[in-house]
A and B are shown apart, each in its own frame.
Chain A
Amino acid sequence: MLTYILRRVLQAIPVFFGTTLLIYFMVFAMPGDPIAGLFGDKTPNPAVADALRAQYNLDQPFIMQYFLYMKDFFTGNLGVTFSGQSVNDVLVRAFPVTLKLVVMAVVLEFILSVATGLIAGLRKGKLFDNASLIFALVFSSVPVFVAMFLAQYFIGIKLGWAPVTAGVDTSWGAMLLPALVIALTIYVTGMRLMRGSVIESRQADYVRTAYAKGLTHRRIVPVHIARNSLIPVITNTAASFGALIAGTTVTEYIFNIPGIGKVLFDAITKSEVPTVVSFVTILTVIYVIVNILVDLLYAVLDPRIRYV
Chain B
Amino acid sequence: MSDPKTEHFVAPIDDAVVEVDALKLDEQKSNLWLDAWRDLRRRPLFYAALGMVLLVTVMALWPTLFTDVPPNDDCQLSNSNSAATAGHPMGFTFQGCDVYARVVWGARTSLAVGILVVAITAVIGIPMGAIAGFFGGKVDSILSRIGDIFFSIPYFLAAVVVMSVLADMRSVWTIALAIGGFAWASLARILRAEVLQVKNSDYVMASEAVGRGRMSTLLRHVLPNSLTPVIVTLTISLGAAIVAEATLSFLGIGLGDTIMSWGNDISKAQTSIRTSPMALIWPSLVLTLTVLAFIVLGELIRDALDPKARARR
CB of A153 within 8 A of CB of B292, answer no
Q: A250-B247, A273-B165 are in contact. Are A199 and B312 (CB under 8 A)?
A: yes
CB 8 Å contact bits of A144-163 with B (1 = contact, 0 = none): 11100110110001000000
Residue numbers of A with Cβ under 8 A of B are 11, 14-15, 18-19, 22-23, 26-27, 30-32, 34, 36-37, 124-125, 137-138, 140-146, 149-150, 152-153, 157, 199, 243, 246-247, 249-250, 253, 264-265, 268-269, 271, 273, 276-277, 280, 283-284, 287-288, 291
CB of A284 within 8 A of CB of B153, answer yes
CB of A143 within 8 A of CB of B243, answer yes
28 CB contacts below 8 A, A to B, read: A14-B149, A15-B148, A15-B149, A19-B149, A22-B150, A23-B153, A30-B165, A30-B166, A32-B165, A32-B166, A32-B169, A34-B165, A36-B167, A137-B295, A138-B292, A140-B295, A145-B250, A146-B284, A146-B287, A146-B288, A149-B266, A243-B154, A246-B157, A249-B160, A269-B251, A271-B164, A280-B157, A284-B154
CB 8 Å contact bits of B229-257 with A (1 = contact, 0 = none): 00000000001000100110011110000
Interchain nearest-CB distance for B251 vs A (Å): 6
Chain B residues with CB under 8 A of A283: 154, 157
Chain B residues with CB under 8 A of A141: 239, 243, 288, 291-292, 295
Chain A residues with CB under 8 A of B299: 137
CA distance in complex: A31, B296 (Å): 39
Nearest residue, chain A, Cβ from B296: A137
Chain B residues with CB under 8 A of A27: 161, 165
Q: A19-B152, A22-B150 are in contact. Are A249 and B251 (CB under 8 A)?
A: yes
CB 8 Å contact bits of B273-312 with A (1 = contact, 0 = none): 1100100110010011001100110010000000000001
Interchain nearest-CB distance for B222 vs A (Å): 23
Chain B residues with CB under 8 A of A250: 247, 250-251
Nearest residue, chain A, Cβ from B269: A149
Interface size class on chain B is: 35 or more
Q: A141-B292, A269-B251 are in contact. Are A22 and B149 (CB under 8 A)?
A: yes
B207 contacts the other chain (CB 8 A): no
CA distance in complex: A199, B270 (Å): 44
Interface core residue of B154, B156, B166 (most chain A CB under 10 Å)? B154
CA distance in complex: A26, B235 (Å): 28
Nearest residue, chain B, Cβ from A157: B274
Interface core residue of A31, A273, A276 (most chain B CB under 10 Å)? A276
Nearest residue, chain B, Cβ from A133: B299
Our pick among A14, A125, A149, A247 for the contact of B154 (Cβ within 8 Å) is A247
B40 contacts the other chain (CB 8 A): no
Interchain nearest-CB distance for A95 vs B (Å): 16
Interchain nearest-CB distance for A213 vs B (Å): 28
CB of B149 within 8 A of CB of A149, answer no
Chain A residues with CB under 8 A of B251: 249-250, 253, 265, 268-269
Chain B residues with CB under 8 A of A284: 152-154, 157
Interchain nearest-CB distance for A85 vs B (Å): 19
Q: A137-B295, A287-B154, A291-B152 are in contact. Are A30 and B252 (CB under 8 A)?
A: no
Interchain nearest-CB distance for A39 vs B (Å): 11
Chain B residues with CB under 8 A of A145: 246-247, 250, 266
Chain A residues with CB under 8 A of B152: 15, 18-19, 284, 287-288, 291
Interchain nearest-CB distance for B258 vs A (Å): 16
CB of B161 within 8 A of CB of A26, answer yes
CB of B154 within 8 A of CB of A268, answer no
Within 8 A of A (CB), among B128-175: 145-146, 148-150, 152-154, 156-158, 160-162, 164-169
Interchain nearest-CB distance for A210 vs B (Å): 23
CA distance in complex: A138, B274 (Å): 25
Chain A residues with CB under 8 A of B145: 14-15, 18
Chain B residues with CB under 8 A of A149: 266, 270, 273, 280, 284
Chain B residues with CB under 8 A of A19: 149, 152-153
CA distance in complex: A144, B246 (Å): 10
Query: What would 11 more interface pairs be, CB under 8 Å, given A19-B153, A37-B164, A142-B288?
Result: A18-B149, A18-B152, A30-B166, A34-B165, A137-B295, A140-B295, A149-B280, A276-B160, A276-B161, A280-B158, A287-B152
